[in-house]
Amino acid sequence: MDDEAPVETGVVAGRACGPCMVCCIAPTIDDPELKKLPGHPCPNLRNAGCGIYPSRPRTCRAFHCGWLSARWIGETLRPDKSGVLVVLNTKPDANGTPERTASFALLTRAALNAQGLAEAVAAAVAGKVGAYMLIPGAPGFTATQIRLNERLADPVRRKDKAGVLRVLKQVRAEARTAESRPVVFTSRDRGVGERNAELPA
């Protein structure tokens, strides 16, 4: 748990989506070209992958999950194998200052124990990346998102992996009791192809 999260661009050498299709199912996509509720397969998804891959919407072309694009997210966290989907973004913080964020969506019960999860979350916190846990609602319903940085500051500083995992377990338990509501699409006149694939609805 010594590494911090550097700025990443592009795709990590040696990594490829392969048979993973998690981003075709888990996120909300609210874009003029494609609207998809969270937890529902994209209507263009086929057994072998995207049925319109050569002409897929720009939202899909622009999206790379954290595992695909960030070396500090370990090989073991490939979404279809770990149950963890990491989405990297840059958003304004409470003061309007741009902040790099990493959202860790735990898609299965076993995801909390995924090899490399504690290390990746700790790297984000140590690197001053806004780290969030997301627990999806039922298909078509909103996810619950909880910020981790302040709660993990002490165990990350002490490089206490067991402490990090305890906090993650507590946060997941809290998130699972939160209210979830049906997702309502909001896009109206965004430019066609503007990226708008989000885990939290």
pTM of the full predicted structure?
Answer: 0.88
Half-sphere exposure of 106 (CA within 13 A, CB side): 24
Q: What is the pLDDT of residues 87-138, one digit of tens each?
A: 999 988 888 899 999 999 999 999 999 999 999 999 999 999 999 999 999 9
pLDDT of amino acid 48: 84
Strands (E), 49-115: 49-50, 84-92, 98-106
CB atoms within 10 A of CB 51: 12
Q: Which residue has the tokens 């996810």?
A: 143
Would you state the torsion angle of the CA atoms of residues 15, 16, 21, 24, taken in this order, to the nearest 10 degrees?
100
User: How far apart, in whole angstroms, are the C-alpha atoms of residue 24 and residue 188?
Assistant: 22
Phi, psi at residue 28, to the nearest 5°?
A: -80, 135
Collapsed DSSP state (helix, strand, coil) of residue 16: coil
- pLDDT of 192 over the 80 cut: no
